Amino acid sequence: MLTIHGVPLSVHTRKAIITAILKKIDYRFEVVIPVIPGNPPANWGTLSPTGLIPVMEDGDFTLADSTAICLYLEKKHPASPVLPADVKDFGRALWFDAYAGGTIFRHLVHPLFVQTVVGPNINNVPTDKAVVDNVLTSMRPKIFGYLEQQISGKYLVGDAMTLADIAVSSNFVVYQYLGFEIDRGQYPKLAKYLRDILANAALQRALADEKPFVDQMGLKRDFLAAA
Ligand SMILES: N[C@@H](CCC(=O)N[C@@H](CS)C(=O)NCC(=O)O)C(=O)O
């Protein structure tokens, strides 16, 4: 059986999990918290050369990157595709996946997560409000404005859920877990798009599975009631 190592609320772990759920692949989930010394398994350095999550094990084959995992699962289990057949849509889905990891996560969600959870709750370092304010005033409008302009229907690309929606929405789940909001007046298309995507059955199942961990960390889940 496929094993996915990661943390239930991790943006990138969730991408692999939702892809497996959408494709009806049986998987086992192993919680590994890389930032807590002593938690990773003894062979963690081999499983994850970067030390990051997620990692997938399929028999003796391993991969340590969420996009690589999703593309591997797509090739191995072509039913319920997460990438479109049309060549331009295919390119656009990969673009949004890259934008989700390289921009939304790296410059918005990751700094907010570090400042509001990892610092104060794990490393005993208080939140630097100036960093949070700077991210919210400089990065957030660029990202939200870009997505607002890109959204024209239920999905980011084509007429079915793709890796683009999985990767982008996964970031917004964590953004909202942290208690940050999407201004519906300013970004109506983005707010509606995310509400609709969060109602997807595969996302609902992934989010239900991570609920105990999210509750334990005292994160917010009330935004899910609207989905
Ligand atoms: N490009 C990698 C990024 C993975 C990544 O940044 N994972 C984060 C969690 S979402 C992580 O492992 N953070 C723990 C750490 O920085 O120690 C992927 O897509 O899998």
pLDDT tens, position by position, 103-125: 999 999 999 999 999 999 988 99
Average pLDDT over residues 184-211: 97
Give tens-digit pLDDT for 24-43. Answer: 999 999 999 887 777 788 89
* 21 neighbors 202 (Cβ within 8 angstroms): yes
Instruction: Please give the pLDDT value at position 29.
Output: 96
Domain locations in the chain as residue ranges: 2-76, 87-226
Residue 128 banded pLDDT, cuts 50, 70, 90: very high
> Domain 2-76 carries which CATH code?
3.40.30.10
Average pLDDT over residues 88-96: 98
Q: Write down the mean pLDDT value for the chain.
A: 96
Atom of ligand 1 nearest to the CA of 13: 10
Query: Is the fold of 2-76 the same as that of 87-226?
Result: no
* 166 neighbors 15 (Cβ within 8 angstroms): yes
Q: Whose CA is nearest to atom 13 of ligand 1?
A: 52
- Per-residue buried b or exposed e for 158-192, using 16+ beta carbons within 10 Å of the residue's own CB: beebbbbbbbbbbbbbbbbbbebebeeeebeebbe
How many other CB atoms are there within 10 angstroms of residue 77's CB atom? 17
Q: Whose CA is nearest to atom 6 of ligand 1?
A: 52
Residues with C-beta less than 6 Å from any ligand 1 atom: 10-12, 34-35, 52-54, 65-67, 101
Alpha-carbon distance of 62 to 47, in angstroms, equals: 7
Instruction: Please give the pLDDT value at position 42.
Output: 87
Atom of ligand 1 nearest to the CA of 69: 20
CATH of 87-226, one of 1.10.730.10, 1.20.1050.10, 3.40.47.10, 1.10.260.40: 1.20.1050.10
